[in-house]
Amino acid sequence: MNKKDRVVFISNYLEKLYPNTPIPLSHSNNYELLIAVLLSAQCTDERVNQVTPILFSKANKPDAMITLNVEEIYDIIRPCGLAPKKSKAIWDLSLILVEKYNSKVPENFEKLESLPGVGHKTASVVMSQGFGHPAFPVDTHIHRLAQRWGLTNGKNVVQTEKDLKKLFPKESWNKLHLQIIYFGREYCTARGCKGNTCIICKTCYPNRKSFVNSK
């Protein structure tokens, strides 16, 4: 199966398997989404969803968040890991949103990525799932599966994002990145598939014998 055929098969299979793609992180506005995605770095969505209701009950808007101090934020988000760094970033970016953006999350990649604690992946999630702009956020699941499925050379997540954007139509990006994440968690797991067990890996590479180690 060549790359073009793999792309068609993967798209069709994932669409049948996951016709609906709810966002895994619980939120009720774009500020909550931004904070939840920031917290999800090196942390599971499940744990983030346990922590954010407590945090957002106290402050779910920037102007409310800056009434808390960094230590109060830290005490709440501690289970997420990297809490000292994240708590300061949450307070600092909230102050910037209040002072510079009228307490609104900016609808702009460059402005989002200039905020403390917000990298390209976080900005991409907010732009795609919050504002509906085409984006292809690449997490560890997508990076791993793109390599197993022969869609990228796997040098880094930046290259993976570029390669996937070239292969799949723009109108599919926002849904597809979630479909791949769901599949990576459920079927093509880091230890459970290794590139030759799940239905997509076996269909795309029926003669593959060795494991595929993510770069």
Catalytic residues: 121, 139
Query: Distance (Å, rounded) from C-alpha 204 to C-alpha 6?
Result: 6
Q: Cα–Cα distance between 166 and 37 in angstroms, integer? A: 25
| Token code pair at residue 172 | 């599919």
Distance CA 66, CA 90 (A): 9
Alpha-carbon distance of 33 to 30, in angstroms, equals: 5
CA-to-CA separations, 125 to 22, 110, 149, 176, 188, in angstroms, rounded: 13, 14, 23, 12, 22
Cβ neighbours for 35, distance < 8 A, ≥ 6 positions apart: 52, 55, 56, 90
Pick from 138, 146, 155, 162: nearest CA to 195: 146
Contact (CB, 8 A) for 58 and 76:
yes
Using a 10 angstrom Cβ sphere, with 0-12 exposed, 13-18 middle and 19 or more buried, the burial of residue 117 is buried
